[in-house]
Amino acid sequence: MSRFLRTAASDSSSSSESESDDDDEDDDDEGSGSDEDVKRVVKSARDKRLDEMEATGKTMDNALKINDWIAISNEFDKLTRMVQRQQNMSEPVPPFYIRTLSSLEASLNAALAKEKEAKKKMNATNARALTAMKQKVKKTAKEYEKEIKLFQEDPEAFEREFAAAAAPEPVARPARKAPREGAEDGVTGDADDDFTTVGRGGRAVQYTAEGIFKNLQAIQEARGKKNTDRADQIRILESLLEVAVTPYQRIRVLLALVSSRFDYNSSVASYMPIELWSSAQREIDLLIATLTADPLYSVQEVTEDYDDLLERTPEEEKDGVVRIRGSIISFVDRLDDEFTRSLQHIDPHGTEYVDRLKDEKGLYCTICRAEALYEKKQLSEPLARVIMRRLEHIYSKPDAVLNALESAASASNVAPALALSSHPSPSSLIHALCVHLYQSGNTVLRTRAMLSHIYHHALHNDFHTARDMLLMSHLQETIHSADVATQILYNRSVVQLGLCAFRCGLIKEAQATLQDIFTTQRVKELLAQGVHQQRFQTLTPEQEKAEKQRQLPFHMHINTELLEAAFLVSSMLVEIPMLASIDSEEQKRKTISKPFRRLLDFADRQVFTGPPESTRDHIMQASKALQNGQWEQCRDLVQDIKIWSLMPEAAAVKEMLAKRIQEEGLRTYLFTFAPHYKTLSLSLLSRTFSLSPRAVNSIVSRMIWTEELPASLDQSAGVIVFHRVELTRPQQLAQTLAEKVAALVEQNEKALDFRLGGTTGWGDRADGAKGEKRGEQTQERRGRGERRGGATRGARGGRGARFSQGLGSQMARTR
């Protein structure tokens, strides 16, 4: 390719940058340079430019012969540009250009004259080019008026003058190029292990060990400027890395190289090319390996000032350690972020995504290496950060994946203190990592570690531990002020906790946990798994961009459909019996799960219902079946939902659901049909719902005990005897009023509790007063309203209160 461009340079509009790129790799050039001395090499670069100009001039001549003014115009523009550049480098205007200019003027006049004579010969575009050319030449000629006059007087003398001016030129070059020159000077010293490269603008640049620092400085100065060529810089640094001799040089070059790799892609919207990413990863590995191998060098974010251009060795330093400015942790962070970003952009359903995902192993190893490095150096702050990175890679993974990552890390001889090999199970590894973070001083990291830990426990069906940790951490009070990423993590943990409760068969807990997130109707957005369509306001592009950046890569997603199924099914199991137990219109407004209720009402209004298709359809029809006491149909409908297959231990979960449906079916049946019976045989119930007589007995007894069901058992006859009292309207209203007043007082108390911010003192008194209220009210005479409150909040509230005592975040140590 370079060969092609070189020969055809005259008719391509290649810029100086691409030229120098080509020359960099050009063997010919190197070959020709190697048997000449340095001066010649420099000169040849200038000559080449002249050659180019001449080639352009020749093309123009050719075009002139066939009267192609478009080509001439183009070529002339190019020529002018070249000359301009020549002048920018403070070289004199070559006589060739002046000559061309004057001859062009002459032929232009001739052509114009000819044009007037034979008008038909030229087409419109050509004619336009001709006139444009005339203007251009006139303008340029004015610029170089003096030179042209000199030239026309005596062409010979003019050319001689130019040659004389050019001879001392290399010495007189501006100071800006000093580093490059230094590099060139070095060649005379040891020409063996160097190679010649032609730098920008055709100048040959050689990289040597001595010149590294100057080169580095030049690159650092160019960094971030508008028209620096990043690819070129990376190449220069790569070659610098090859010649770097001492560890100090190598570290310095690596630091610069990695950062320029990360610079390569400046736009936020796209991700780093994968090859660049992998080489960056390799180089970070190399850097870490260098630092690990040689403890006398250390890379720190804050160091004393030192001269960038000097070589430093441990012996010369005061305490025998060379400290270099730089930050490995930020490299690791960036590497990880870029990985995530690439996953965000790749289509998750293609093979590319899977291929990319395979890189995680390498990344994980790098992170572990960095961890080992910081452990060795005993830097607690970056160590905590790097451990957090590590934790983020493994906390949401099932054990098998975690094992694979860990074995990859141990296979590549990375030895952080915390590794799977030293822990009996993945969970204990996570525990160890988290405990390390709990002890670190950083609150954000502590919070995130806590949430990851909770997520991990929930993932492993360890509901109680996860719940205790969540409540003890008091995170729900402060999470609103946390950063968005942490909030997302919090949402994820809570949702996972809800799913965990569902898998464990703790339906009420699952419902209560998932409730909050589902009432917002923005599940996807809250979990950062999709952007929510705003109905009433449009997002600004910045907001949208920020939103997009927050999205989790696909493999971390929690399946929202499964989540919804779990939520709706648990809502069904809680809500339907409650719905059945309500008999007056006023009470009907009480709902536990609004989203479920909405769907149910909607389904009720449907005139015609077809066979269920979506998950929601299934659940709605199942709910109706449950309402009608057809538990078998309900069970079949729920079990038919396809999405369960995504849940681990799906069979067990289905079985659990079937059992729940039986029980709740029985309860619903009793609530719904109790008014129509005077007595009901227990054995019949047991047969209808295929429950053991003991289970039926237990359920019925509980309902009687909690006064959900106004009935009692007749043991000898084996029946339930209902004592139903029909309430008159005023009685009902009186009851509702009483309940509302009680609720009001309770609200007031809560509000005061909140304002006083504690349960001490005042809480005790309130408790005593409440006892008063219950007065002679014996245990058996509890109101219905109270029951309802207790049912939903009981499980959480009881425990929640205990955690308000400030034992929070201690548990890691006390357990």
* Contact status, residue 359 vs residue 339, Cβ threshold 8 Å: yes
Q: Which of 7, 421, 681, 748 binds another protein (CB under 8 A)?
A: 748
> What DSSP letter does each residue of 177-239 carry, written as one string?
GHHHHHHHHHHHH--SS--EEE-GGG-EEE--TTTHHHHHHHHHHHTT-TT--HHHHHHHHHH
Q: Would you state the structure tokens that stand for residue 342, as one six-digit string?
A: 């690439």
Task: Report the DSSP pairing between strands 322-325 and 679-681.
Answer: unpaired
Which position among 131, 316, 714, 789 is part of the footprint of another protein (CB under 8 A)? Answer: 714
Closest by CA position to 239, among listed 189, 201, 179, 193 = 193
Stretch that binds another protein, among 38-46, 551-559, 661-669, 736-744 (CB under 8 A): 736-744
User: Which residue in 76, 102, 83 sits closest to 155, CA to CA?
Assistant: 102
Closest approach, Cβ 482 to another protein, in A, equals: 13
Candidate ranges 72-80, 190-198, 551-559, 721-729; the one touching another protein (CB under 8 A): 721-729
Q: Which stretch binds another protein (CB under 8 A): 66-74, 511-519, 524-532, 744-752?
A: 744-752
Using rule CB under 8 A, residue 586 touches another protein = no
Q: Closer CB to another protein, residue 158 or residue 762?
A: 762
CA distance 520 to 374: 43
Binding characters for another protein, 788-807, by CB under 8 A (x = yes): ------xx--xx-xxx-xxx
Please report how close the Cβ of residue 725 comes to another protein at its closest, in angstroms: 5
By CB under 8 A, tell whether 188 contacts another protein. no
Q: Which is nearer to another protein, 144 or 762 (CB)?
A: 762
User: Smallest distance, Å, CB 729 to another protein?
Assistant: 12
Does 678 interact with another protein (rule: CB under 8 A)?
no
Per CB under 8 A, the list member of 34, 649, 752, 793 interacting with another protein is: 752
Q: How many residues bind another protein (CB under 8 A)?
A: 77
Measure the CA–CA gap between 709 and 714, rounded to whole angstroms: 15
Q: Which of 266, 267, 481, 715 binds another protein (CB under 8 A)?
A: 715
Encoded tokens for 174: 């501006």
- 713 touching another protein, by CB under 8 A: yes
In 3-state terms, what secondary structure has residue 679? Answer: strand
Minimum CB distance to another protein smaller for 225 or for 815: 815
Going residue by residue from 477 to 516, which x/- string records binding to another protein, judged by CB under 8 A? -x--------------------------------------
C-alpha separations of 468 from 457, 684, 815 in Å = 11, 42, 12
Binding-site member from 424, 541, 611, 771 for another protein (CB under 8 A): 771
Strand partners, 322: 297
Beta-strand relationship, 719-722 and 711-714: antiparallel
Q: Does 645 bind another protein (CB under 8 A)?
A: no
Main-chain dihedrals φ then ψ at residue 679, nearest 5 degrees? -135, 160
- Burial of residue 38 (CB within 10 Å: 0-12, 13-18, 19+) is middle
Instruction: Please tell me whether residue 164 binds another protein under the rule CB under 8 A.
Output: no
Secondary structure (DSSP) of 612-675: --SHHHHHHHHHHHHHTT-HHHHHHHHHT-GGGGGSTTHHHHHHHHHHHHHHHHHHHHHHHHGG
Q: Which range, of 61-69, 210-218, 309-317, 767-775, touches another protein by CB under 8 A?
A: 767-775
Partners of 722 in the β-ladder: 711
Least spacing, CB of residue 678 vs another protein, in Å: 12
- State the minimum distance, in angstroms, from the CB of residue 458 to another protein: 14
Q: Considering the complex, state which of residue 153 and residue 776 has its C-beta at the smaller distance from another protein.
A: 776
Residue among 354 and 807 whose Cβ is closer to another protein: 807
Q: Which residue has the tokens 């203190």?
A: 417
Q: Of 443 and 543, which CB lies nearer to another protein in the complex structure?
A: 443
- Decide: is 540 part of the binding site for another protein (CB under 8 A): no
User: What number of other Cβ atoms are within 10 A of residue 129's Cβ?
Assistant: 19
Rounded CA-CA distance 769/742 in Å is: 13
Query: Which region, judged by CB under 8 A, interacts with another protein, from 259-267, 626-634, 656-664, 732-740?
Result: 732-740
Does the footprint of another protein cover residue 767 (CB under 8 A)?
yes
Torsion of CA 364, 370, 375, 381, to 10 degrees: -100
**Footprint on residues 413-472 left by another protein (CB under 8 A):** 443, 464, 468, 472
759 binding another protein? (CB under 8 A)? yes
* Contact residue for another protein among 85, 590, 773, 793 (CB under 8 A): 773
For residues 162 and 95, is the Cβ–Cβ distance under 8 A?
A: yes
The correct pick among 278, 432, 762, 791 for binding another protein (CB under 8 A) is 762
Contact between 726 and another protein per CB under 8 A: no
Q: Does 142 bind another protein (CB under 8 A)?
A: no
Question: Which part of the chain contacts another protein (CB under 8 A), choosing from 78-86, 239-247, 289-297, 760-768?
Answer: 760-768
With contacts defined by CB under 8 A, name the span among 61-69, 71-79, 236-244, 724-732 that binds another protein: 724-732
Q: Which amino acid is at 312?
A: R
Binding-site member from 303, 756, 789, 793 for another protein (CB under 8 A):
756
Identify the helix (H) or strand (E) that includes residue 681: strand 679-681
Pick one of 701, 787, 791, 792: the residue that binds another protein (CB under 8 A). Answer: 701
Give the nearest distance from C-beta 806 to another protein in angstroms.
Answer: 4
Sign of CA pseudo-dihedral 536, 541, 543, 545: positive
Phi, psi of 299 (to 5 degrees): -105, 125
Q: Which of residues 588-627 bind another protein (CB under 8 A)?
A: none
* Residue 749 sits in the site that holds another protein (CB under 8 A): yes
Closer to another protein by Cβ: residue 18 or 735: 735
State the nearest-atom distance from the C-beta of 699 to another protein, in Å. 8
Closer CB to another protein, 324 or 742, in the complex: 742
For position 84 contacting another protein by CB under 8 A, the verdict is no
**Pairwise CA distance, residues 464 & 476, whole Å:** 17
Q: Is 476 in the site for another protein (CB under 8 A)?
A: no
Nearest to another protein of 151, 722 (CB atom): 722
Instruction: Determine, following the binding rule CB under 8 A, whether residue 121 of this chain makes contact with another protein.
Output: no
Told to check if 558 binds another protein by CB under 8 A, we report: no
| Phi, psi of 542, rounded to the nearest 5 degrees | -65, -45
Complete DSSP assignment for 709-732: S-EEEETTTTEEEE---PPPHHHH
Q: Which segment (164-172, 426-434, 481-489, 707-715) binds another protein by CB under 8 A?
A: 707-715
Q: How far is the CB of 744 from another protein (least distance, A)?
A: 9
Alpha helices in 346-377 (DSSP H): 351-377
Q: Select from 205, 202, 236, 204 the least CA-distant residue to 220.
A: 236
Q: Among 739, 787, 791, 792, which residue interacts with another protein (rule: CB under 8 A)?
A: 739
Q: Residue 377 and residue 391: Cα distance in Å, rounded?
A: 20
| Helix/strand/coil (H/E/C) assignment for every residue in 273-331 | CHHHHHHHHHHHHHHHHHHHHCCCEEEECCCCCCCCCCCCCCCCCCCCCEEEECCHHHH
Of 3-11, 95-103, 246-254, 713-721: span binding another protein (CB under 8 A):
713-721
Task: Give me the DSSP letters along 494-511.
Answer: HHHHHHHHHHTT-HHHHH
Q: Which of 116, 378, 716, 754 binds another protein (CB under 8 A)?
A: 716
Task: Determine, following the binding rule CB under 8 A, whether residue 810 of this chain makes contact with another protein.
Answer: yes
CB of 739 to another protein, least distance (A): 6
Residue with tokens 């990289």: 207
Selected binder of another protein within 721, 787, 791, 792 (CB under 8 A): 721
